[in-house]
Chain A
Amino acid sequence: MANPPATATTSVDKPIVGSLSEVHADADRPLPAHPVTTVMEARDLNVFYGDFHAVHDVNLAYGRNEITAMIGPSGCGKSTVLRCLNRMNDLVTGARVEGQVLYHDQDIYAKGVDPIAVRTHIGMVFQKPNPFPKSIYDNIAYGPRVTGMKVDSMDDLVEEALRGAALWDEVKDKLKQSAYGLSGGQQQRLCIARTIATKPDVILMDEPCSALDPIATARVEDLMIDLRKDYTIIVVTHNMQQAARVSDRTAFFTARPDETTGNRTGLLVEYDLTSKIFSNPGDKRTEDYISGRFG
C-alpha cells in the first residue's frame, strides 16, 4: 500500500497464540515448529447482504507461512469470510461488512484504505480456473502491468512466477499461445502463477480444486505446500481430506438458522491445529461434520 497504511504493514508481527486461546481454551498444545505470527485477523466480523445476515461475529487469526483451511457445510459463510479478506465483497451489490479485518494491524476496512492496494497484497485464486483470454505470457504479465509494478525484466518475472507455480516446464515453449489451450489443472496453476507474479503477501484460495480431477488436485495441493514457505495461504474447501492433507490450522464453520426468518447465518465453531480438529475436535458439531454425520 502506497498510502499511510504502509507504515503499519511493515510493523510488528504479533504472536498468534493470544487470539487462538480466545477461540479455544487449551492453548498449551505444541505449536508448529516454524515460527508463527499473525498476518491477518478478523475481529467481530459480520457480513450482511441487504437484510440477510450472512456471517455472525467471526474472530479468526491467520498465521504467517501457514496454510489455514476454512471448512464447513454449504452456506456456512466460509467463502464470504474469505472474500472479506481482500475486499472482494465490495463488488457485491448490497454487501455490508461490520467489524475489522486486520492486515498487519491495519484495518483494511478503515476509512482511506484503497481496496485496489489491498488486493495487490492479498491475492486470490478462484473456484473455477479463470485465465484471461490472452496468451500464457500476458496472463502472468497482466497483474504487474496494471498495478504499475517496477519490473526489470518482464520475461524473468514471468519465468519466476511460472516456476513458482510448477508450471514452467510444461509451458515454456508455448508462452505466446492462448491460456485456453491448457488443461483445467494447468489453468488453475496458471492462475496461481498469475497471482504470485504480483508478489502478494497472502494468497486466498476459494475451493481451488473443486473443478479439477484428482491428479490435478494433487499437483495443486503439492504446490500449496511448496508456496507455504513464501506465502501465507488461506483456503476454503469442501473437501475435508484436502484440509487434512494441506493445512496447518483448520477453522470449522457452520450455519445456524434464524428462529424467526429461517435464514441461515454462518458462524465459526472451532479453530485449531488441523491435527487436533481431525483427531480430537473440541466441539460436538465439528465432530459430527468431520465424521460425516452431518453436512
Chain B
Amino acid sequence: MSIAATTAREVTAQLATGKSKDRTVGSLVFLCALWFSLFFGVMVLVALIASTAIKGAPRFDAELLTNYTSIVRPETAGFRAGILGSLWLMLFTAIMAVPLGIAAAVYLEEFADPNKPWNRLIEVNLQNLAAVPSIVYGLLAVAVMALLGFDDAGIVLGGALALALLILPVIIITTREAVRAVPREIRDGSLALGATVWQTTWRQTLPSAVPGIATGTILGLSRAIGEAAPLVVVGLAGSVLFDPEGMMSKVTALPMQIYSLTSQSREELREAASAAIIVLLVMILGLNALAIYIRNKFQRSW
C-alpha cells in the first residue's frame, strides 16, 4: 500500500468520526437556553398583542377611525380626534426637531473642534439627554410654554414642543452616525477640488447621509407617537370632540385617549381602547417599516 493511500485513510479516520464537538451536552443545553429566552421574549409580545386584538376585535370598524369618543354611545366611540391629533403633533414635532437636530449634528460632526472642552461637554450631555425619562421633557415643555406666555394648556404647540425636545437627542445622535458614515475620502476629494467645507457638507456629505438621517428621524417620530407621559404633563385632554385646526388648537393624542379610556368602568369603552391600541401599533409599525424600507432601498455600501 502506498504512503499516500495510508495517509488518506488516516485523515479520513480523523475527520469522519461521526460526532461533532459542536454537539456536546453542554453546548446543547446552552443552545436550548438561548432558544427558550428567544421564545419567552417573543411569546410575551405575541400574547399581549393577541389578547389586545381579541378584546378589541368587535370594534374593528370604520367608526373607530371616524367617530369622536362618546360617553353617551360608547359602542360607537371612535378615535378621530386622537388619530388626527397624533398626526398634527407629529407634523409640528418634525418641523421643530428635524432641522434643529440635523443642524446640531452637522455642526458637531463637521465644524466643531472635538478637543474644545465645551464641545466635549455637549457630547456627554447629548448621550445623557437621550436617556432622560420622557416625563421630564413634558415638564420642560410646560416651563418653556409658560415662559413664552402661552396660557392655554393642552394645545398642539405645547405637545409638539414636549415631543420635539424628547426626540431631539435621538435625531442628533442618529444624524451624527449617518454623517460619520460618509467616508473621509469623499470629503477629501471634494476639498481637494477647491470646494469649501460648507459646499462639501451641502453637496456631498448631507446628500449621502440623507437615508440614515431619514431613518433616524422616522424612528424618533415613532417613539414620539407612542408617548403619553409628557403629553399628560403638558395638559393634553384625554378626550376632545373636534378636529385640531392649528398650532393653537386644543388637541388630544391617541395614547392619551387610550390612557383615559382604559380607566373607564364601561366595558364598551375599554373595548374601544383595546382597538385603539391596535391602531396605534399599526401606525408605529408603519413608521418603522417605512424606516426599514428607506434604509434598505437607499443604503450605500462604500
Contact = CB atoms under 8 A, between A and B. Distances in A.
11 contacts: A93-B114, A116-B194, A119-B194, A126-B185, A130-B185, A131-B189, A133-B186, A146-B190, A146-B196, A147-B195, A195-B192
Interface string B186-214: 10111111111001000110011000000
Interface of A: 86, 88, 91, 93-94, 116-117, 119-120, 123-124, 126, 128, 130-133, 142-143, 146-147, 191, 194-195, 198
A132 B192 contact: no
B286 interface: no
B193 A142 contact: yes
Most chain A Cβ neighbours within 10 Å, of B188, B196, B207: B188
| A-B pairs with lowest CB-CB distance, top 9 | A120-B194, A130-B185, A143-B193, A124-B192, A146-B195, A130-B189, A147-B194, A119-B194, A146-B199
A253 B194 CA distance: 29
A126 to B, nearest CB: 6
A88 B199 contact: no
A91 B188 contact: yes
B186 A123 contact: no
A130 B191 CA distance: 12
A143 B194 contact: yes
Nearest to A146: B195
B66 to A, nearest CB: 45
Contacts of B192: 86, 88, 119, 123-124, 126, 195
A117 B194 contact: yes
Contacts of A143: 193-195
Nearest to B208: A133
Given A142-B203, A146-B199, A91 B189 contact: no
A142 B207 CA distance: 14
B120 interface: no
A128 B194 contact: no
A195 B185 contact: no
A142 B190 CA distance: 8
Given A116-B196, A147-B194, A93 B188 contact: no
A158 to B, nearest CB: 14
B200 to A, nearest CB: 8
B167 to A, nearest CB: 28
B189 A146 contact: no
A119 B187 CA distance: 14
A143 B192 CA distance: 9
A199 to B, nearest CB: 11
Given A142-B203, A146-B199, A146-B203, A132 B190 contact: yes
B266 interface: no
A147 to B, nearest CB: 4
A126 B194 contact: no
B54 to A, nearest CB: 49
A195 B190 CA distance: 10
Nearest to A195: B193
Contacts of B6: none
Contacts of A146: 190, 193-196, 199, 203
Given A130-B183, A142-B203, A146-B203, A119 B188 contact: no
B189 A119 contact: no
A120 B190 CA distance: 11
Interface string B102-116: 000000000001110
Interface in B145-194: 183, 185-186, 188-194
Contact of A130 (B186, B203, B208): B186
A142 B203 CA distance: 9
B195 to A, nearest CB: 4
Given A130-B183, A146-B194, A146-B203, 10 more contacts: A88-B192, A116-B195, A123-B193, A126-B188, A126-B189, A128-B185, A142-B190, A142-B203, A143-B193, A146-B195
A50 to B, nearest CB: 10
A208 to B, nearest CB: 13
Interface in B112-161: 113-115
A21 B191 CA distance: 35
A116 B185 CA distance: 17
Contacts of A195: 192-193
A130 B189 CA distance: 7
A119 B190 CA distance: 10
B6 to A, nearest CB: 43
Contacts of B203: 142, 146
A91 B199 CA distance: 15
Given A130-B183, A146-B199, A198 B113 contact: no
B300 A133 contact: yes
A123 B193 CA distance: 6
B298 to A, nearest CB: 11
B193 A119 contact: yes
Given A93-B113, A132-B204, A146-B199, A88 B188 contact: yes
Nearest to B187: A91
A67 to B, nearest CB: 19
